[in-house]
Amino acid sequence: MKAAVCREFGKPLVIEDVTLAKPQAGELRVKIAATAICHSDISYADGAWGGTLPAIFGHESVQLLVKLRFRLMQRVR
Ligand SMILES: [Zn+2]
């Protein structure tokens, strides 16, 4: 999938092809239908809060649930 990736704080985002890891137990995968970059994303990309890079922004989005993986708990007697 294509994503706008922040590789360096304060620099323009770079459109790249990225591959997502498979969901782990307790995680889910959604398909992004539409997203936006908000003021928080811009502050993060500017380095206002530090953090780990590379990063992909756009947490305010319309999503479709694609995959849900969960772990069944087995009771041992
Ligand atoms: Zn936001």
In a domain, 76, yes or no: no
Which residue range is the domain that position 9 belongs to?
2-68
Cα 75 to middle of ligand 1, angstroms: 41
| DSSP symbol at 53 | S
In a domain, 77, yes or no: no
Contact 69, 25 (CB under 8 A): yes
In a domain, 74, yes or no: no
Cα 25 to middle of ligand 1, angstroms: 26
The mean predicted confidence, pLDDT, of the chain is 85
In a domain, 44, yes or no: yes
Q: What are phi and psi of 58, to 5 degrees?
A: 115, 50
Q: Give the tens place of pLDDT for each residue, 46-65.
A: 999 999 999 998 888 887 77
How many domains would you assign to the chain?
1
In a domain, 73, yes or no: no
- Alpha carbon distance, N-terminus to C-terminus of the chain: 46
Give 42's contacts (C-beta < 8 A, 6+ positions apart).
none
Cα 59 to middle of ligand 1, angstroms: 6
In a domain, 75, yes or no: no
pTM summary value: 0.68
In a domain, 47, yes or no: yes
